[in-house]
A and B are shown apart, each in its own frame.
Chain A
Amino acid sequence: MSVIVLDKDAAVSHLQRRPRVSLERGAIILVTALWVLGALMPILALFVISVLRAKGLSFDFSLTLQAYRDVLVDFRLEIILRTLRVVAVVTLIEFLLGYPFAIWLAKGIRSGLAKSIILVLLVVPFFLSPAARTIVWRSILGNDGLINNLLLSVGLVDTPVSWLLFSEFAVHLGLIGPYFPSMVWPIFISVSLIDDELIKASRDLGATGLQTLWYVVTPLAVPGIVAGFLFTAIPMLGDNVASTLLGGGRVALIAESFDDLIRAMNFTGAAALGAILVVAVIATALIIRWVLVHLDRNNGHRLKVMSS
């Protein structure tokens, strides 16, 4: 009863703002609904399907962990671990390359034009087909590719270096290019937002460039760095282009397993593998966050402020 009266009061006192409030509320509800439908439901469905029993093309509605048992065979465990390792290594390389680059882009370049040009160049590769830009590596790394020809003609080697192509090395190399912008963009944005005066103040108080980087720039760029790691690592987990084209069947990554399972119409298996991957991704995200938060006691406050 009292609830209804309260509602009436609120409605009367906010009479003039009512349309705006209901519009905002409507938008929030709509977005939430879309998010639940578009993002959460499929993931939930993934978990549900993964514990059902397959019956031909359809499912028998009884719970079982059979799909997990089928999927988690030795060679697939190996694939999962390899995928995690490759993604971790390449993401780290992206960070080591991307962080200085993002800082230079955000604070080092004076000319606005040069900055715009570089930012555009960063996105241009997205307009190329992933397969097209990856396959180029074959003509560079192959036995009669650019590098081997060069090495042979200089006389550094007698026979072509064979581990350049169809190897883990090649897969790593092939993954670096496509995911570089994903690392650079969020870091670039958060470094750009750091007030120049803070950097000047740090120098003025006696900090060297490296000290300013460690004590001022990095803590303030943490949100961007976290985003960079997530935007880089998560899509990379699902990448099948580099491993297919440059791995030569020797460096199977998890994305190929999905292709295989679905081709074999083992949907519960694919769902189980997907569920494992989702858990792995969330776990990785939490680990990255934990590491960054504990990297420096100060950073924690910042993150808390950002996420509250």
Chain B
Amino acid sequence: MEGTPAICAESARSPILQLGGVWHSYGAVTVLHNISLHVERGEFLTLLGPSGSGKSTLLRIIAGLENPQKVAMMLLDGMDITWAPANERNVSTVFQHFALFPHMSVGENVEYSLKLRRIPAPERRRRAESMLSLVRLTGKYDRRIYQLSGGERQRVALARSLVMGPDILLLDEPLGALDERLRLDMQRELIELRRATGVTFILVTHSQEEAVSMSDRIALMRAGTIEQLGSPNDLFSRPQTEFAARFMGFENVMHGILRAKRGDLAEVDVGGATLLGRMVSKSAAMNPGDRVFAAIRAEHVEVDCQRTGNSVTAVRGDPIYKGRYYDIPFSTQLGTLIARFGELPVNLACKTNITFSPERCVVGVLGPEGIH
């Protein structure tokens, strides 16, 4: 693969990071199972997953702060970094609690990596000041760390990591320590910062909203494996597995048997009722008789008398107030389905029909863990 000139010419376009066959365990517990991942130059990739799924571990391995047990390939910008210590890898981490040096001023924190590289003081200062203005901290050069708010500390940490011009910026739940409002502001700022610097970002989060609104691609992690890798829209509207559907916020997930395939629609038997859904797993992988899941978002479930699409009689439960909307559970033949309303519907009968479109309902094969 290495030898041919054609490939060499292509190398500028090659992925910035190539991971292959990464295994890691703490004692007897394997936390990463054979992870393979290619990250493109300048992309914003998010590692999304529940607590304990191995996101931080994978990030630490990329940073070199942890040595993986076994690894088949680890290339940064085409160079083998399998055995390179953290300080020799041109990647930089923004830690969850920022890890700013408390005995240094804001400016000294930002300059730290330049000082280590023996860059002369005036040049250092110039670059630090320009980085600080990029993260909107102009004039805070001489501040002490304890004089900063959480959001400002966050920006200092970003400036400190970006000033060294890393190939990849690694962010471990950088917004976790911030309040709701600040988090939304910082989401936007991170996107802009990535655009302004052109640096590849790999961000860890367990919030699907954060992942969907910021990333170019999302790697959904589950118990040390990558469950699904794709664009935010892929994951948001076409989750391939029951786990992905649940994690991406599908409130209604049903189990059933695949009866028949019609184009890319599937006919699924759920508790004796039949529903139509769109197949998300490769249709070749699905055969009539297979155990499948069907998932529909609450906002796509409607109360409708016109019996279009999937329709089922339902008994209304008590509405749950969620601030911007109400969730109402309905008991149906398909199980309890939750429907979402912006305002409480008036005159909603106790017994009614609820409908949802087959286009919005995703159907995929159940993994072994979904079959009891």
Residues of chain A touching chain B, judged by Cβ–Cβ distance below 8 Å, are: 195, 197-198, 200-208, 211, 215-216, 219-220, 298-299, 301-302
Contact = CB atoms under 8 A, between A and B. Distances in A.
A298 B93 contact: no
B122 interface: no
29 contacts: A197-B97, A197-B99, A198-B102, A200-B65, A200-B86, A200-B93, A201-B93, A201-B100, A202-B112, A204-B64, A204-B86, A204-B93, A205-B87, A205-B113, A205-B116, A205-B161, A205-B164, A206-B87, A206-B113, A206-B116, A207-B87, A207-B116, A208-B87, A211-B116, A215-B112, A215-B115, A219-B103, A220-B102, A301-B103
Given A203-B65, A204-B87, A211-B116, A195 B99 contact: yes
B352 to A, nearest CB: 55
Contact of A201 (B85, B88, B95): B95
A220 B101 CA distance: 9
Contacts of B164: 205-206
A267 B144 CA distance: 53
B103 A201 contact: no
Contacts of B77: none
Contacts, number: 66
Contacts of A197: 95, 97, 99
B1 to A, nearest CB: 31
A200 B99 contact: yes
Contact of A298 (B65, B99, B103): B103
Interface string B52-91: 0000000000011100000000000000000001111001
Contacts of A211: 116
Given A198-B99, A200-B99, A207-B112, 18 more contacts: A200-B65, A200-B86, A200-B93, A201-B95, A201-B101, A203-B87, A204-B64, A204-B65, A204-B87, A205-B87, A207-B116, A208-B87, A211-B116, A215-B115, A219-B103, A298-B108, A301-B144, A302-B102
Contact of B117 (A195, A198, A206): A206
B353 interface: no
B282 to A, nearest CB: 41
A299 B104 CA distance: 9
Contacts of B108: 298
Interface of B: 63-65, 85-88, 91-93, 95, 97, 99-104, 108, 112-113, 115-117, 144, 160-161, 164
A195 B100 CA distance: 10
Contact of A203 (B86, B100, B160): B86
Report whether over half of chain A's contact residues are helix, strand or loop; otherwise say mixed: helix
Contacts of B100: 201
Contacts of A200: 65, 86, 93, 95, 99
Contacts of A198: 99, 101-102
Contact of A299 (B65, B87, B103): B103
A204 B63 contact: yes
A177 to B, nearest CB: 33
A101 to B, nearest CB: 23
A205 B103 contact: no
A131 to B, nearest CB: 43
A196 B100 CA distance: 12
Ranked nearest first, the 6 interchain pairs of A and B with the lowest CB-CB distance are A201-B99, A197-B99, A205-B113, A203-B86, A302-B103, A219-B103
A210 to B, nearest CB: 11
Contacts of B97: 195, 197
A219 B105 CA distance: 13
B194 to A, nearest CB: 19
A111 to B, nearest CB: 13
A205 B95 contact: no
A205 B112 contact: yes
B95 to A, nearest CB: 5
A112 B127 CA distance: 43
Given A198-B99, A215-B112, A205 B144 contact: no
Contact of B92 (A205, A208, A216, A298): A205
A302 B105 CA distance: 11
A301 to B, nearest CB: 6
Contacts of B93: 200-201, 204
Contacts of B115: 215
A207 B89 CA distance: 11
A299 B99 CA distance: 18
Contacts of A195: 97, 99
A200 B97 CA distance: 12
B102 A205 contact: no
Contacts of B144: 301
A205 B104 contact: no
A54 to B, nearest CB: 52
A199 to B, nearest CB: 9
